[in-house]
């Protein structure tokens, strides 16, 4: 039983480190003057993955609480994780919402409806048509073939 508890505690530590890594990423995004579309997409994908972390922690923490002698310490761990997790969820949603609404983001973040209502159709596009996607230069890779 002691080995099982040690294993569970190590797994919990790994989940808490994921929380810290995500927190560091959010702080980096938050410090940006503008959130680019790439940053917004990166944030959205990380958030999708991060969102499942709470259920993983909850299952693991419940097992720890069932095996642990000190229920108070286990409760404090749960409370602290929940506080950090939900704070990061709120902050992420705020950042994603502000980038979509254009507050604190680049001008290219406006949605198609707001662009049409402002009468700013993309150059060369018919009125009411969505703008053409922006092109990005991708790095080229040279592959040498051995003979």
pLDDT in tens, 82-93: 999 999 999 999
Residue 104 has pLDDT above 50, yes or no: no
pLDDT at 129: 52
Mean pLDDT score of the chain? 78
pLDDT at 56: 96
Inter-axis angle of helices 71-101 and 2-31, nearest 10? 30
pLDDT at 80: 96
Residues 65 and 74 sit within 8 Å (Cβ to Cβ)? yes
Residue 139 has pLDDT above 70, yes or no: no
pLDDT in tens, 37-60: 999 999 999 999 998 999 999 999
Q: Longest C-alpha distance within the chain, in Å?
A: 70
pTM over the 0.75 mark = no
Residue 99 has pLDDT above 80, yes or no: no
Distance CA 62, CA 54 (A): 12
């Amino acid at each position: 039983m002691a080995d099982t508890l040690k294993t569970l505690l190590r797994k919990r530590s790994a989940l808490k480190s994921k929380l810290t890594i995500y927190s560091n990423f959010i702080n980096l995004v938050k410090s940006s003057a503008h959130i680019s579309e790439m940053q917004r997409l990166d944030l959205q994908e990380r958030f999708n993955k991060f969102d499942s972390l709470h259920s993983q922690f909850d299952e693991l923490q419940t097992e720890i609480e069932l095996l642990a002698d000190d229920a108070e310490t286990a409760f404090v761990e749960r409370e602290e994780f929940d506080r950090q997790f939900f704070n990061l969820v709120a902050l992420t949603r705020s950042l994603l919402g502000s980038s979509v609404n254009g507050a604190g983001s680049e001008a290219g973040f406006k949605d198609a409806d707001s662009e049409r209502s402002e009468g700013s159709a993309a150059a060369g596009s018919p009125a009411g048509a969505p703008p053409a996607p922006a092109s990005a230069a991708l790095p080229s890779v040279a592959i040498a073939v051995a003979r």
